[in-house]
A and B are shown apart, each in its own frame.
Chain A
């Protein structure tokens, strides 16, 4: 198991297009978290999911952003009608247990550039 896998590593989208970011958690991990890092800032929590359930989406922008973690397959972060301000690094983390911030493992991130 190579750890948390995110793809693509780099994604370029024109304004108005859709961006789909994928995250495969570590084997045995059923909890997935998405964070966004804007340039020169720290990571900011977006959403926490378990299989087929959104547990906490308090950090998600109200419009254009959605996330899912289906029973089979990776977690997907979807950004519709992207704007320049969506350009950022998006990191996914996974953990085995609930209440396990100490058990987070981060992926290498997807760098989204909106042109």
Chain B
């Protein structure tokens, strides 16, 4: 039972353009969502998060959008840079829960 899904295993974007990574969830109890970035042989690094009371959160080049009715969130990176090449994981948690439920990840490649 995959409660958090990232349907695109990979994405390739030109440097300077916008990267859009998508994530869908099924559990209506989820109220907090996070994006992590992961380089090979390293642990996930927190990128940005959003609470279910908001529909947008912005931090520099990174913006996360949440559509609760569609149970969908997306991460926008603009402009994309070569250092953004990594695997991006969407994660969710339910109120009061101590654990995160992760998607399968999307490998983003930024081409010069």
Point out the residue from A40, A41, A101, A105 that lies within 8 Å of B100, measured CB to CB. Answer: A101
Q: How large is the interface on B (under 10, 10 to 19, 20 to 34, 35 or more residues)?
A: 20 to 34
- How many residues in A have their beta carbons less than 8 Å from beta carbons of B? 28
Contact yes or no, B102 A42, CB < 8 A: yes
A44 within 8 A of B: yes
Contact yes or no, B99 A45, CB < 8 A: yes
CB within 8 Å of B: which of A92-115? Answer: 93, 98-99, 101-102, 104-109, 111
Point out the residue from B34, B43, B49, B100 that lies within 8 Å of A109, measured CB to CB. Answer: B43
A19 within 8 A of B: no
Collect the chain A residues with CB atoms within 8 Å of residue B96's CB: 99
Contact yes or no, A48 B99, CB < 8 A: yes
CB within 8 Å of B: which of A46-81? Answer: 48, 55-56, 58-59
A43 within 8 A of B: yes
Collect the chain B residues with CB atoms within 8 Å of residue A102's CB: 32, 34, 46, 49
What is the minimal beta-carbon distance from A109 to any residue of chain B, in angstroms? 5
Bound state CA distance, A54 and B98, in angstroms?
12
Contact yes or no, A31 B98, CB < 8 A: yes
CB within 8 Å of A: which of B71-99? Answer: 89, 91, 93, 96-99
Find the B residue at minimum CB distance from A109. B43
Bound state CA distance, A75 and B66, in angstroms?
35
CB within 8 Å of A: which of B18-68? Answer: 32, 34, 36, 41-46, 49
What is the minimal beta-carbon distance from B6 to any residue of chain A, in angstroms? 8
Point out the residue from A4, A41, A56 that lies within 8 Å of B43, measured CB to CB. Answer: A4
- 14 intermolecular pairs with C-beta atoms under 8 Å apart: A4-B43, A31-B98, A33-B98, A41-B105, A42-B102, A43-B44, A45-B101, A58-B99, A99-B96, A102-B49, A104-B46, A104-B100, A108-B42, A109-B43
